[in-house]
Amino acid sequence: MPLSSSYDNIIINTDNYKHCHYPLYPPGTEYVNSYIESRGGEFPVTMFVGLQAFLRDYLMHPITLEDIDQAEYYMREQGMHFNRENWMGILNDHGGFLPVEIEAVPEGLVLPTKNVLVQIINTDPKYFWATSFFETALLRAVWYPTTVGTISWLAKAVIREALDRTSDNPGVLRHMLHDYGARGVSSQQSAALGGLAHLVNFSQSDTVPGIIAAKEIYNAVAPSNSGPNSEHAGFSAWGRENEAAAMRNMLEVHAPSGCALLLTDTYDHENAVKNIIGKELAEEVRNFPGLVGVRPDSGDIVQVTADTTDWLMDAFGYEVNSKGFKVLPPFVRTVQGDGVNRDSLPLVFAEMERRGMSAENAVFGMGGGLLQHCNRDTMNFGQKASAVMVNGEWRAIGKSPTGDLMKTSKKGRLALTFEDGEYKTVQRDSVSPEQNLLKPVFRSGKLLKKWDFSELIELSEKDVPESYYAAAIAPLRNAVGGQDAAVA
């Protein structure tokens, strides 16, 4: 359903119980300092992205009297306490903008988990409660794109490893993983945030909301490429006996585009590749003015990707590159978009390498495995208060539950440093402002730093220690190493 303007009201873009928290602080509380981190999880690192979208969409728009009236009605109807005076004060004292300052690490930066990513503090002691009030919306705005961006970044590490091992063409890296996830997510907003996060790492997407978000929020210029693809509805409409005609029609119609991706599993995938594409349409494929993608869309992803590439080599030949691996002619590639996820991708490359085929013979698409197979607990994201000022004195605070050590939170006002090749979260007063990688990005309605998409890409591609992605590429190395040992 389309979202009404009510969803833009930051006063109700929260958990109900947030409205009853302001009187629970000690008398004399003036400032509350909170931070966001990934407390660890499935991956050892995070690629931070997405905060700017939240700042521009929500915090740069002031609350209005109508917002306050609406929130009061909704909260009291549910039996929840609502302090109208607090919000009227923000409206009158600060023009409706939340009096908070937000610091963050640079967007696009890849760093180990368990480090501070965002830090928030109120700027007016009268509104000390504001820091934690919008935790729900802020944490959601950070954990989701950052988790998707990290999944995409680690997939890129896997593909880079496969190319390093088997290909002479590393320049294809950013073109090898396509975002097909729009239909598999829970909302268009998720498609936008997850889609833009993927585009930091790869230049391929069919998720239009993500492309729009990258352009409108981060000033991205041509962030994505796509090309004519087929679907089963169009091909099956021709009937089984006319499958070759359906494919020929697509090659003719989309020749001006220089790209045509042919589905081959509408009926019998092996027959479609070997006999229709490899024989009946072989000349059309050879003479196509661009790339013909051969797209299996079902079956065991590891075997079907390698089998399809093998059959295409039988039909169209191959060259052997300097590393001794076979490469299809440039006019044809396998396109695998079914079953691709962070577990299957390295195994596909391992099988291709085992068969002596370069990784560049296939390109991939991820859908649910990219944008939907994650949640806040994938990386255990949390926002916690770490310091309060009471009657002019700072207190370092935190939680330390005996039942779950992972939930032990950091204390004090924090900073992030990079020394001797290592990121460290330290106490703010222990380093100079120049050493602190947390930089103010927002203050009381004003955007202090506007990230350009090119900056995100540049930061994401900085050299990092292999430990950041070792676990992601381990299945590829182990599978190939195990095969080598078995042969020996």
Output the six-digit token pair for 118.
């965002």
DSSP state of 429: G
Query: How many residues are listed for the chain in this entry?
Result: 488
How many other C-beta atoms can be found within 10 angstroms of the C-beta atom of residue 89?
15
The CA radius of gyration of the chain, in Å to the nearest whole number, is: 26
Instruction: Please give the Cα distance from 314 to 312 (Å, whole number).
Output: 5
Residue 266 CB: number of other CB atoms within 10 A?
22
Integer CA distances (angstroms), 54 to 82, 346, 442, in order: 25, 33, 11
426 neighbors 35 (Cβ within 8 angstroms): no
In the Cβ-directed half-sphere of 288, how many Cα atoms lie within 13 Å? 30
Q: Quick one: which of 154, 83, 120, 130 has its CA closest to 366? A: 154
| Per-position DSSP letters for 109-164, written without gaps between them | -EEESSSEEEEEEESSGGGTTHHHHTHHHHHHHHHHHHHHHHHHHHHHHHHHHHHH
Distance of CA 77 to the CA centre of its chain: 38
| pLDDT above 50 for 487 | no
pLDDT-derived band at 3 (thresholds 50, 70, 90) equals: low
Domains, the chain, with CATH or none? 5-146+384-459 (3.20.140.10), 154-371 (3.20.20.70)
Please name the amino acid found at residue 429: D
Q: How confident is the model at residue 1 (pLDDT cuts 50, 70, 90)?
A: very low
| Residue 205: DSSP 8-state | B
Q: Is residue 312 pLDDT above 50, yes or no?
A: yes
Average pLDDT taken over every residue of the chain: 95
State the pLDDT at residue 488: 40
Over residues 462-472, the pLDDT tens digits come to 999 999 999 99
> Is 70 exceeded by the pLDDT of residue 483?
no
pLDDT tens for each residue of 223-277? 999 999 999 999 999 999 999 999 999 999 999 999 999 999 999 999 999 999 9
Residues at the binding site for diphosphate are 183, 232, 295
Side-chain-side CA neighbours of 412 within 13 Å: the count stands at 9
Please check whether residue 48 is in contact with residue 139, taking contact to mean a CB–CB distance below 8 angstroms: no
Q: What is the value of pTM for the model shown? A: 0.96
What proportion of the chain, given as a percentage, has pLDDT over 90? 93
3-state secondary structure 279-308: HHCHHHHHCCCCEEEEECCCCCHHHHHHHH
Give the pLDDT mean for 39-48.
Answer: 97
Helical H segments across 296-440, by residue range: 301-316, 344-354, 368-371
pLDDT of residue 78: 85
Q: Which residues are annotated as a binding site?
A: 183, 206, 232, 295-297, 337-338, 368, 376
Given pLDDT bands bounded at 50, 70 and 90, which one contains residue 485?
very low
pLDDT score at 482? 56
Over residues 340-368, the mean pLDDT reads 97
Q: Which of 162, 172, 158, 159 is nearest to 353 (CA)?
A: 162
**Predicted local confidence at residue 324, as pLDDT:** 98
Res 307 pLDDT > 70: yes
pLDDT in tens, 209-218: 999 999 999 9
Q: List, as residue ranges, the binding site for beta-nicotinamide D-ribonucleotide.
A: 206, 295-297, 337-338, 368, 376
Lowest mean pLDDT among 3-12, 179-188, 291-300: 3-12
> What is residue 59's DSSP assignment?
I
**Residue-wise pLDDT tens digits, 426-441:** 999 999 999 999 999 9
As beta bridge partners, residue 326 has 320, 357
**Bridge partner list, 178:** 365
DSSP class of residue 414 equals E
pLDDT band at 77 (very low <50, low <70, confident <90, very high): confident
The CA distance from 339 to 367, in Å, is 8
Span 87-122, pLDDT tens digits: 999 999 999 999 999 999 999 999 999 999 999 999
